[in-house]
Amino acid sequence: MGDSRGVAPMQMEGNVADNWKIWRSRFENYLVASEINKKDESIQCAQVLHYIGEGGFKVFTTFTFEEDQKNKLKILLDKFESHFLPKENLTYERFKLFSYKQKDETLDQFVTEIKKMAIRCKLGSLQEELTKTVLITGINNPSIREKLLQEDDSLSLDKAIEKCNILLMSKERSENMSQVKIDALQRGRTGTIHKKNNQMGQSGVPKKTINSCTKCGRSHEINKCPAFGRECNFCKIKNHFSNMCRKKKQSNKNNKVNEIQNTEQINVVNKINDNFLFIGSVEVNEINNNRWFSVLEINKKEIKLKIDTGAQANILPLKLYNSLGIKSNLRQTQVTLTSYTGNNLKIVGKCYIPCKKDDKTFNLEFYIVDSNTQAILGLDSSLELNLIKRIDSLTKNCQYNSLINEFSELFEGIGCINEPYHIEIDKNAKPVVHPTRKVALPLMDDLKQSLAELEKSKIIERVQKPTDWVNALVLVRKPDKKLRICLDPLDLNKVIKREYCHIPTLEEITSKLAGSTIFSTLDATQGFYSILLDDASADLCTFGTPFGRYRFLRLPYGIKSAPEVFQSRFKQIFNLEGVDVYIDDILIWGKTKSEHDERLKKVWCE
């Protein structure tokens, strides 16, 4: 043991190299604090051998010194340094740093580790910048990484660490605030949401679970979200399922409204994979929905089941199953049943049950759940029992032909909003010129044709003069097999100032439709191209192709402000009662045909 007022002996176990660095640093501080550094070097060397401990002293006995090296403090410490520190391989140390990923460690532990590794890499003036890069690339939270990547290059390491701590704390607080279980969502004239507190453990301590997770839609323990690392089937971004995808909820462009009646039941259907089945519906109060139930005879007893076209399985609650006296053995299953709120249903087992309907017997598969829920007949069984019919085609209604003919010019070509749009960018933005991307040979002819068509339509024009910005090109194959030419303005988007126009959600739009019976949807063909760009903005939208440089004269796809700009312009034009705009889609509705037709004419007159 060393002097209690001195330095503790060096630890000879574990990471000896790090232990030596720590001990040497503490010892050198001790020399200054005790003013021993002012004494003769022989005394200082003796202090080293006294405080380093038994293990260190044994190492000292292996050293050899020249006559003039004895009692030289620096030489003594350097010999210990050479012994305890292995010969450095900077290439390997830097490889370890740049490939390091956060594992099962806290943010503070992760930051400390990469800082220590960066010191060993001898990065000089780049140490802080490269440590920040490793922090961003190595952190195991994708949402935080995404937020950090949105920052500009002026973000310092300390600011990045501070931002990480703030985001982690906000996430934790949000999870604590949202630990409520939504068991039913009923929409009526007095919309109510029923909430149930988290279940308590046997000890009376709340379980650390998240109910109705915003990433997977289900309940799970904190930091054990099944969506983590999984790719969304809709937007292809990782760490959430498609049923919780924000982009899907906001776009819904593929959801065509063929007919909306006084609907008693709107079902939500999503399938993640073969082991996940979704069960759930949204019900409307004060509407008689008996026609959405069916009575089946099971084991000589009449059972009322709810027809749920959004359910992917048939459900029987355990209590009802036991009361039926069914002698079928329950089989285990790996399937997970998930309600529309994202909560998992506890499955006891599954079995096939003979069910009679109109003197016919059907052998239907049921999942038995330990839950006080309604017996449910899913989509497949409802079709099998002929309780619902699939409509594969609709009869074309030609009563609007005369109205369409009256406004026939609206259905030809691409429209044009005369007021040009000016793209605002940061004053300190540094222009970026991207090299022309290679285009696959089979696409060359299609690209050349698409460019010619856009040039003929005055959507783009060739550029002969020098431009500060040149963007990369992205080609998208449309359903009609034609190419859509989009910008990939990665750097330009970072400096564009957005207008922050509110884009309504599906829920906001549908909440206005109560009592309406007839609807029309209009789609603005290549809508963004209807907005002119001023000359300066057109230069910003220059892009390179194998056939030369072009610039957009109209608002291109890919500009981050485009959806909001388009929404704002269209909302100003079609700010009419019974009309709502979702980017390039226009919805017109009315409680009667005459009301709907009058609103439709107003839209076309605008």
- How confident is the model over 85-125, as pLDDT tens digits? 766 677 878 888 888 999 878 888 889 889 988 887 888 88
CB 316 within 8 A of CB 369: yes
Whether 258 maps to a domain, the answer reads: no
pLDDT at 400: 65
Number of folded domains in the chain?
4
| Same domain, residue pair 419 and 367 | no
| Same domain, residue pair 170 and 281 | no
pLDDT at 259: 32
Whether 100 maps to a domain, the answer reads: yes
By C-alpha distance, which of 431, 461, 437, 602 is closest to 535?
461
pLDDT at 534: 92
The dihedrals phi and psi of 485, each to the nearest 5 degrees, come to -95, 120
By C-alpha distance, which of 585, 591, 223 is closest to 603?
585
Whether 487 maps to a domain, the answer reads: yes
| Same domain, residue pair 445 and 577 | yes
pLDDT at 542: 93
Range of the domain at 301: 265-384
| Same domain, residue pair 367 and 412 | no
Instruction: Give the integer Cα–Cα distance in Å for 345 and 369.
Output: 7
In this prediction, the residues of the chain whose per-residue pLDDT falls under 70 are 1-5, 86-88, 173-212, 248-291, 338-343, 390-400, 403, 406-410, 413, 479, 524-525, 584, 606
At 396, which amino acid appears? K
Range 598-602, long-range pairs (CB < 8 A, 24+ positions):
600/403, 600/520, 601/403, 602/576
Instruction: Give the integer Cα–Cα distance in Å for 215 and 244.
Output: 6
Place of tokens 């330009």: 492
| Same domain, residue pair 367 and 438 | no
CB atoms under 10 Å from CB of 581, counted, come to: 25
| Same domain, residue pair 296 and 336 | yes
| Same domain, residue pair 70 and 102 | no
| Same domain, residue pair 477 and 375 | no
Q: What is the pLDDT of residues 515-528, one digit of tens each?
A: 788 888 877 667 78
Place of tokens 């001990």: 23
| Same domain, residue pair 145 and 123 | yes
Instruction: Give the integer Cα–Cα distance in Å for 12 and 458.
Output: 77
- CA 566 to chain CA centroid, nearest Å: 24
| Same domain, residue pair 124 and 57 | no
